[in-house]
Every structure is written in C-alpha cells, then in structure tokens.
Structure 1
Amino acid sequence: MNFDLPAEHRMIRDQVREFCEEEIAPIAQDIEDEHRFPQEIFDELGALDVMGVPISEEYGGLGGDTLMYSVIAEELGRVSGGIGLSYVAHTSLGAKPLELFGTHEQKAEWLRPLAEGEGLGAWALTEPGSGSDASDMDTMAEKDGDEYVIDGTKQFITNANVANSVLVKAVTDPEAGYDGISTFIVDPENDDGFHVETVWDKMGLNCSPTCEIRLDEVRVPEDRLLGNEGEGWKQTMKTLDGGRISIAALSTGLAQGAYEAAKEYSGEREQFGKPISKFDAVRDKVVDMYRKTERARLLTHKAATMYDNGEDVTKASALAKLDASEAARKVAEDAVQVHGGYGYTTDFPPQRFYRDAKLMEIGEGTSEIQHLVIGRQLGL
C-alpha cells in the first residue's frame, strides 16, 4: 500500500497510523455513541504538528504538500470517519482558503492558530434552500462605514460549534450573480449575533458536529473581507477542487478500514470446518473490496499530485471524489455482509464505516454533481 510514496510521506503516515491505532481506534465507537466531539484528539494532532500539513511554515504549518495531507486524511478515516471529517473540514475549508486568498495580516492573525493546532476552522457555504446550487444564496453582507453587517442562515456546517474562525460566504452585490458573492472571516466566540441553532443528529459521523448557524446582524470590520468583494465564488471553486481531494482521501480511508475489517474477520471466522475466506463467494467479495480501495487511492493520489504540480485538477478531483466515495460505500456495505449478523452490531466496525461512508457521496458536491462536472470537462 502506498509503495510509491516519498520517504517523508511514509514516515509521517506511519507516525499518524500508530497514533490512530493507539489513541483513536479504542474510542471510535464510544465517541460516535456519545455524539461527542473529541477535542483531546485534536489537541494531540496539534502536538503531532499535523493540523496544518499543507500550510506554509511561515504561518505555522508543516509546509507539506496535498499528497501528504491526503495520506493523513486517509489514515484518520481508516479508524474514524467523524474525526477524519472534522480534520479535512478544518484543513481544506477552514485554513487553506486563508492561505490562498488572505493578506499577510489575516494569515498571521487567523491562519497561524489553525495551522499550529491552537484552534479549529470551519467554512459556511450551504444554506437551507440551496442544496446542490450553492450559489443560490440569501445571506447578505451590507457595508456600513468601515464594517460589514452579515445576516443569514447557513446549514450543514462542519465544526461550527467548536471553531475559532468560520469563513462565511455572503452576497455583497445582489445584482451581480456569481460576481456578487464575497467571503468574510467570522469569529464565533467574539462576534455578537453568531448563533449555533442546531447540532444535527445524523446517520453517521456523529463525533463530528454538523450545525445550522444564524448570523443576526453580525458586524465584522472591513479587514475581515477575504480577498476583494465579488471574489467569493471564484474562491469557492478553487477551494472545492481541494475539498474534493480531501473527501476522496477520507473515503479511501473508510474503504481501507472496512476492507481490513472484512479481511481479518473472514480469515478468523470458521464455517463448515474452514475459514469463510476459503469460500469463493467470500474470497471474491474481499478481493473486489481490495480492488476498489486501491483504485480509489490511485485516483486520489493522482489528483493530489496534480494539485501540487499546479495543474488544473477540476476533472481529476471530481473523478477521485466520485470514485472513492462510491467505493467507500460499496466496500463498507460488503464488509457488513462478510461479517453477517455481527456486521449489523456496534461490536464490530463495519456498521460505522457503512453509515459514515454515505455522506461521502453527498458532501462537497453529490455524485450527481460530480458527473455534471466531469461531463463538462469532457465537453459533453
């Protein structure tokens, strides 16, 4: 697995894997059952210096590349989809746009604590009525002197109730369409009018908080505008290219965890006097699980490498996200089947992988949207 990774990437992967197996795996089901965000795990990830892997060292990051970050996201997903989800939302959505589009002053104040593991980031795009049309936005930001006043509601926002900063998309020019959307840095703790309305109970990923937030005349100084007015949608498209790679990596981790669970169980569980892995039906299923996982990893690593090389990754990231997310769901489903009745119980991890994997086909653009994106890239 990952035989082609550079030595530094393998070293960090192994370090994170050891941490995951020793610290996360033993509590993975408990934090799901308790719907508890494990702050202590993220504190320890900060101590490991991996909360800002793709962020430059100048602003407190590790200075790694997207491939390295993808490998870490996969390792986290291999044991806990929820921890992996909060990690990638923090990194690719909460922190990376600050590095890509922020001023030196914004990076020093807002990016550094995220990259150093002193805080968590979040990104607020989706609204209750927007769905797949994320540009259909009712949240408004009106200029008032040297401040912006933000009003609106955002839905399905990962980390919003535990974040130190939230990048909020809002309309600054209602007549300009896509060119009328801007991005603002909001401080959930200190900006009056920022309210977490709901922390959703979900099918899976319940140790990762998913929130509805309301912005009620939230006033932010003009130096909290990220980039220029009207650049919010272009920033979003760039961010989503990296976000899709994040979800592809997380999905690959979920698939890997499910495959490993099925492989181990099928080698130990005996029926009719021999391990069930010796029966063609089970063996072929496990082999297919391995194939799908490896394919997802290759597509993810290709997209990450292209991103690091500065290439256009719209098609590659959409393809990786589409394939890996569907692989995660299918591999997890097969893992439940291999475990039989035990796979349906919380004593074994496949049921958790199965529930967690479904979101991968929805978040960061549904599978249907990925088909649309890829089709456009193919000229269809």
Structure 2
Amino acid sequence: MDFKLTEENLQMKTMIRNFVDKEVDPYANEIEESEEIPAHLLEKAKELGLFGLSIPEEYGGIGLNTVGKCTVLEQLGRTHNAYVSLIGAHTGIGSMGIVRLANEHLKEKYLPDLASGNKIACFALSEPGAGSDATNLSTTAEKRGDHWILNGTKHFITNAPFADVFTVFALTDREKGAKGGITAFVVERDFPGITIGKPDKKMGLRGSKTAQVVFENCEVPVENVIGEVGMGYVSALTILGEGRVGLGARSVGSCDKLIELSTEYALERKQFGKPIADQQAVQFMLADMKTETEAARSLTYRGAWLLDQGEKAIQECSMAKLFATDVYNRVADKAVQIHGGMGYMAEYPAERYYRDARITKIYEGTNEIQRVIIAKQLLKQQAKVTN
C-alpha cells in the first residue's frame, strides 16, 4: 500500500488546512448559535472546488481519487462539523452514485452544476421503518409510460432542506426486494409531487440541516434511473462504502483538532502549582487520544487506497467507519475531561465536538451494522478457504 500524496494533493491539503483554521473556524460559534453556515463560507467553498472533489475534471470537478478526497475531508473535520457535513454529504453519498453508476446523459446533465456547487446533492435512503435495515424500504416506484411514479417517505436526510438533487431509493419489485427489486433514481427538487419537511431539531450538528422528504405521486423521468433497474441496493452499498471512509477521514480531522486543543489547555491550565500537563493521568489520556487517532487514520487510508485500486473493500470501509467514529467519541470524551468544568461550557469547542461526535456512530450505517458487515465478510472469507 502506498498512501504517498502527489505534490498537487499536498498543496491542496495545506491550502484547505489554512482556509479551515483561518477563515472557517473563527465562525464556529456563530454557526452553533445561529444554526446557519454563513453564505460567504459556502461561496469560498465553491471557489476552492470543494463541491467537486471527486467529480471528474471533464464535468468541472477536481477529480481527486479517494485518498486525495480523504486528505481534504480530514482537514475540513478540524472545524465545525456542520460545515464538513454539508460538503461531505454532497461530495460523498450525495453525488457519487451519479459519478460511479449513472449513464453519460445523467452525468452531463447534473455533474457540472454539482461540481460548481450551484446545485447541492443529498442521499435519500433511510425511512421511518428502514434505517439499519435498508432492505425494508416502503417507498415505491411504479413505471407509467415515460415516468416512474414515486410514493413514500424518507427521513433524516442531510442537506434536504436546501438540496436540489436527490439520490432516491425505491422498491420497483416488492417480491424481489433487495435482490433485484430496489432501484436508484435522480430526483430534482422541483419535480411534481415532492415535499420537504421542516428542518429537524438535533442534539448536535447545529447548522447541518436534515429533514423528511415526502413523495406523493412524484413523477420521475425514466431516464433518471441510476445504473440498472432493480440494482439499487447494490448501488447503495457501493456509494456507502466510499462515504464511510470519508466519514472516517472527517472523524480523524476532528480528533486532530481536539488533541491540539487539549494539549494546549493542559499546558496552560495550572493546578497544585503546576500545569496539568505534568500530571500522569492527563498525559495518559493525551497518549491514548493520539495513538488511537493514528490507528484510525491508517485504517481509513487503507480503505481509501483499496477503493482506488478498484477493490470493493466492503470490510475495510466498514472497519474504517466503525473504528474512526468510535475513536472520535472517545477522544471527544477525554478532551472534555482534560478541560474539566470548562469542557462542559458551550463557549469551549470541546463541548461542541462532544455533541457532534455522537451522531457519527449512527449515520451512514450504525456501528452495530458495521460490526455485522465485518463479521459476515470474515465468515464468507473463511468459508471460501474451508471449501
């Protein structure tokens, strides 16, 4: 495995790091209080090409491979998680189905606007009765003439309140279900029959908008099928795999920031006449935070590298998501502990990261589901060896 970055990747990594630290992070408290991302920060993201990280250059994107994209998402993870959530959901699961699986017509129609950030993408799979069990969809699509008619409800859809383009999964053959009966569609916000609910109120990720999306006889042109009819569940797994290593990279970036904040605080805060950094208990927490973060980084980039080699890397992507998000939660907990009472105060970033970390163990496949996937892959591999 070779995780070595190209000179271009290194330059972009440095540029994004400077942008995040100097231009985005100063607005973190404002984002938290207003629950809105300032428009000028989104415009700057457009200028930097952040909305087209993985979209090929011929469609106006930067065309980074998975490892390259992870380096950018890692730097974005250093600031308010709502900012990286918006961009990550757009560049990951929101648009990658079109990039990887759509026909040329759909790519030419949608990717240029998605790459520029003029249109925002989202991924609509979860339903009130189908979260971890994504095979249990109730949203249906029935073909009538030159349109598919969608009916059903999706929920907790990131970017939905302002998204323009939705990757939607629906049952097209109830009897076949996940084995040939689920299809993926590109649905535009202004198609007849689509309604977006009010933004959800959440424990964390304030500024990252999620909402219900309701389809009532929503008319979708037949040409807006992503991939093959009936192969939507396979498509979802393909898209989610890349999204999971991206979430791993974002989590690692947040860990890096928390380690910096905790180290700085430990050197400045004095108790019993000396900095708390001199206390072995604090040193051990810092050591664990750093060690686990580096392990998470290695797992994440291994998964990304395998994807770039054309491997499915199902097990590796799940391991990266599972471990990196678990680590993020442990690092956030230790950061609050090191900050003591100040870590519990909303004015300190540790409190915000602590709340924002919690969702990472739930979305894009709960960590319990990741364990199921990893175990199934392991057992399948062993069965092949035995036979």
- Distance, in Å, in 2 between the alignment partners of 1:234 and 1:152 is 20
Match in the other structure for 2:10: 10
CA displacement 1:176-201 (0-9 Å, x = unmatched)? 1111111111111x212211123111
- Distance, in Å, in 2 between the alignment partners of 1:277 and 1:58 is 51
CA contact (8 A) 2:20 2:75 kept: yes
CA displacement 1:327-367 (0-9 Å, x = unmatched)? 00000010001001110111110111111111111111111
Deviation at 1:289, TM superposition (A): 0.8
Deviation at 1:18, TM superposition (A): 0.8
For 1:199, what is the secondary structure of its paired residue? coil
CA gap of 1:3–1:348, structure 2 versus 1, over 3 A, is farther
Q: Which residue identity does 1:65 align to in structure 2?
A: N
Listed as ranges, the matches of 1:151-230 within 5 Å are: 151-178=151-178, 179-188=180-189, 190-230=190-230
Match in the other structure for 2:58: 58
Q: Which residue identity does 1:279 align to in structure 2?
A: Q
CA contact (8 A) 2:245 2:300 kept: yes
| Greater Cα shift, 118-127 or 32-41 | 32-41
Deviation at 1:228, TM superposition (A): 2.1
Q: Which residue identity does 1:183 align to in structure 2?
A: A
TM-score by length of 1: 0.96
Match in the other structure for 2:281: 281
Deviation at 1:312, TM superposition (A): 2.7
For 2:77, what is the secondary structure of its paired residue? helix
For 1:5, what is the secondary structure of its paired residue? coil
Aligned length: 378
CA displacement 1:127-175 (0-9 Å, x = unmatched)? 0111210111111111111011111100110001111100111111111
1:257 corresponds to 2:254: no
- Distance, in Å, in 2 between the alignment partners of 1:176 and 1:237 is 17
- Distance, in Å, in 1 between the alignment partners of 2:206 and 2:247 is 17
Deviation at 1:310, TM superposition (A): 1.0
CA displacement 1:270-328 (0-9 Å, x = unmatched)? 11222111111111111111111111111111111111111231111111111100000
CA displacement 1:55-81 (0-9 Å, x = unmatched)? 211111112111111111111111121
Listed as ranges, the matches of 1:145-156 within 5 Å are: 145-156=145-156
- Distance, in Å, in 1 between the alignment partners of 2:68 and 2:3 is 14
CA contact (8 A) 1:38 1:207 kept: no
Q: Which runs of 5+ in 1 are unaligned?
A: none
For 1:214, what is the secondary structure of its paired residue? strand
- Distance, in Å, in 1 between the alignment partners of 2:223 and 2:4 is 44
- Distance, in Å, in 1 between the alignment partners of 2:235 and 2:38 is 30
- Distance, in Å, in 1 between the alignment partners of 2:33 and 2:353 is 14
Q: Which residue identity does 2:319 align to in structure 1?
A: L
Deviation at 1:260, TM superposition (A): 1.2
Deviation at 1:261, TM superposition (A): 0.9
For 2:154, what is the secondary structure of its paired residue? strand
CA contact (8 A) 2:50 2:87 kept: no
- Distance, in Å, in 2 between the alignment partners of 1:107 and 1:40 is 28
Q: Which residue identity does 2:208 align to in structure 1?
A: S
Listed as ranges, the matches of 1:305-344 within 5 Å are: 305-344=305-344
CA RMSD of aligned residues (A): 1.5
Listed as ranges, the matches of 1:62-141 within 5 Å are: 62-141=62-141
CA gap of 1:38–1:149, structure 2 versus 1, over 3 A, is farther
- Distance, in Å, in 2 between the alignment partners of 1:183 and 1:376 is 25
Deviation at 1:8, TM superposition (A): 2.1
- Distance, in Å, in 1 between the alignment partners of 2:64 and 2:224 is 27
CA contact (8 A) 1:147 1:219 kept: yes
For 2:61, what is the secondary structure of its paired residue? coil
1:297 corresponds to 2:291: no
- Distance, in Å, in 1 between the alignment partners of 2:3 and 2:197 is 46
Q: Which residue identity does 2:94 align to in structure 1?
A: G
CA gap of 1:294–1:150, structure 2 versus 1, over 3 A, is same
CA contact (8 A) 2:3 2:67 kept: no
- Distance, in Å, in 2 between the alignment partners of 1:311 and 1:185 is 26
TM-score by length of 2: 0.95
- Distance, in Å, in 1 between the alignment partners of 2:38 and 2:237 is 30
Deviation at 1:4, TM superposition (A): 4.6
- Distance, in Å, in 1 between the alignment partners of 2:38 and 2:147 is 35
- Distance, in Å, in 1 between the alignment partners of 2:100 and 2:68 is 18
- Distance, in Å, in 1 between the alignment partners of 2:37 and 2:176 is 39
Q: Which residue identity does 1:127 align to in structure 2?
A: E
Match in the other structure for 1:375: 375
